[in-house]
Amino acid sequence: MAPRSPAATQLQRHRRADADSDGEGVAQGTASSSRADIKKWAAEVVRLALFSEYKRQPLRREMIIKQVFPNAGKLFVPVFAEAQEILRKTFGMELHELRVRHKLGAAAMATQAVTQRKGKGRARDDDDDEESDEEEDGEDGAVATQRARKAAGSKAYILRSTLPAPLVAAMARAHPLPNLAHVAPDVVTADSGALVPWEKADAATGGHVGLLGIRAVILAVVLCSGRVIQDDALHAYLRRFNLEADTVLPYTSSDSHEPPLTLDKYLDALARQNYLEKIKIPGAHGESASVEWRWGSREAEFSEKAAAAFIEQLMMADEADDAEEDHARRAQNQDDTRAARRKRLRTNIEKAATGGAAGGLAGAL
């Protein structure tokens, strides 16, 4: 082969340089187009997150991909990061992934299997060994599956505030408007002037501030019972507040058009909204199924720490009222006693939440 002339070699170099520059231009154009799409999709994710949170429903990853960018699922990570940036800077909120929900334990699954076999009448003695081996394998498989689910995450998200708690408290403080002082009292109380009007709440089920208080009590009871409580025991505690299963809770938001809920329906609503987990345990040997309530996965909104602070506030407030009546008597000793009681209360709540306090809720309080 004849050697190439310097002119031909130079021409080929120019062609390669032009091709490289064209490739860079295409890559830059693609990157620019993708960036614009990511911003657009992120805005749609924000809108979808706000809508889901208004309904108190978790936003799932597959729903985001299906409704926002069905043909570009691989871009979920950059789109999600851009949506988080918008939520934090504009709304003071962020998407938080829920933990994996509790699944029926291996023991309960075995009980259910025994009940089903007994009901069908097909259990055989010569198959007992094989069935026990299968149950052991099922138990190991359930544990492995649970670990895998914890590692993978639930891929379901809720919105939580990123604003400091003192700022939220200041925003919720009532500031009546001066120009409404001459108006009728009922009109003035309709708008407290707060930036976050809790008396208005929202139109979601259980959005009224009165129901939020009942929710806090229910979650506190569940926490101090080791994060799990039988349905009968929960209702026994709530009856002390004159709350029966069919008691109508007369609290609805001014924006809501739904009728008031009964206590049982409100508990079911809390389960749908992930504040609680309702677990149905099948009965053995012909017994009826039972229900237990577990601490829900929406703990980013009302955490165990917040529940403990709520309990402490209630318990120590009663002591503060008693201390004011005889304030002149040994003030320093009373302060020391209150500090000791506060510390003991925190310790008891922590033990009850982990199942270490004898008597559960009674031991904590």
The residue ranking higher by pLDDT, 247 or 288, is: 247
pLDDT on residue 124: 46
pLDDT digits (tens, 9 = 90+) for 214-240: 999 999 999 988 899 999 999 999 999
Degrees to nearest 5, angle at CA 315 with 356 and 321: 160
Question: Does residue 150 have a pLDDT over 60?
Answer: no
pLDDT digits (tens, 9 = 90+) for 284-329: 777 788 899 999 988 888 888 888 888 888 877 655 555 555 555 5
Query: Would you place residue 252 in the very low, low, confident or very high pLDDT band (cuts 50, 70, 90)?
Result: confident
Token digits of residue 183: 């108006």
Identify the three-state secondary structure at position 133: helix
DSSP string computed for 274-298: TSEEEEEEPPSTTPPPEEEEEE-S-
pTM: 0.68
Query: Would you place residue 45 in the very low, low, confident or very high pLDDT band (cuts 50, 70, 90)?
Result: very high
Query: Would you place residue 358 in the very low, low, confident or very high pLDDT band (cuts 50, 70, 90)?
Result: very low
pLDDT on residue 9: 58
Q: What are phi and psi of 230, to 5 degrees?
A: -70, 155
Question: Does residue 38 have a pLDDT over 80?
Answer: yes
Strand ranges, E, within the chain: 59-60, 93-97, 156-161, 228-230, 248-249, 261-262, 276-281, 290-295
Among 100-109, 126-135, 145-154, 274-283, whose mean pLDDT is lowest?
126-135
**Residue matched to tokens 């706000």:** 50
pLDDT on residue 237: 94
The average pLDDT across 150-176 equals 83
123 close to 294: Cβ distance less than 8 angstroms: no
Cα separation, 202 vs 57, in Å, equals 14
155 close to 60: Cβ distance less than 8 angstroms: yes
Question: Does residue 254 have a pLDDT over 70?
Answer: no
Alpha-helical regions (H) of the chain: 6-54, 61-68, 76-86, 106-120, 128-152, 165-172, 185-189, 209-223, 231-238, 263-272, 304-325, 331-353, 361-364
Identify the three-state secondary structure at position 81: helix
